[in-house]
Structure 1
Amino acid sequence: MELSEQAYQAGDIVYVIYRNPHTYTAANVQQAAVVHHPERPGELALFLYETYYPLDQQIAIYPSEAAAEQEFARYFGAIE
């Protein structure tokens, strides 16, 4: 998915495939919010699990939960 920061606005709700940093084999679809980065004026960030993540090409962002789940199933197998 091609990412353009201009495609998002603060307040948008998006979905990401998130890997648990403590259990690398555990991944799931999570809702995240696009917000103004508190430490970088003029930049947007993803807010997920009380953490700000850069809004960049490193994170696959999906506009809907269904789209994220479809990609999750494609990469990780069927969702139960």
Structure 2
Amino acid sequence: MELYNENREYHAGDIVYIFYRNPHAQDVANIQAAAVVNNPENSNELALFLYETYYPLSSEMAIYSTEEEAEQAYHYYYGNDSEGTLE
């Protein structure tokens, strides 16, 4: 199983980086590592596994292959504060 996203190919087992909004404070976003896994609800799809939850992986998601790439995008979209650092 694989998914192409902006000329990248993802496979189950890959670690990627995404922006994750705090559900308790919607104005706070952080960079978070997530695992690409086989979707347990649909074996023909991939999913992101983050905080014990599966999120269907789609080409509409902003996914970064490295933490550095995610940090650059974070600073571009959110400014130069320190909120984007991986925790």
**TM-score normalised per structure 1:** 0.88
Contiguous gaps of at least 5 residues in structure 2: 83-87
Question: Structure 1 regions of 5+ residues with no counterpart?
Answer: none
How large is the RMSD of aligned CA atoms in angstroms? 1.7
Q: Deviations over 1:19-77 (max 9, x none)?
A: 11221101000000000011111211000111111111332000000000110011111
Q: What amino acid sits opposite 2:56 in the alignment?
A: P
2:52 counterpart residue number:
50
**2:33 aligns to what SS in structure 1?**
strand
> Residue type matched to 2:70 in 1?
A
How far apart are the structure 2 equivalents of 1:75 and 1:40?
A: 33
Q: How many residues align?
A: 78
Partner of 1:75: 77
What is the alpha-carbon distance in structure 2 between the residues aligned to residue 57 and residue 42 of structure 1?
15
**2:5 maps to what in 1?**
3
Q: How high is the sequence identity, in percent, across the aligned residues?
A: 55
* C-alpha distance in structure 1 between counterparts of 2:34 and 2:20, whole Å: 10
Paired AA for residue 57 in structure 1: S
Structure 2 residue 52 is the aligned partner of structure 1 residue 61: no
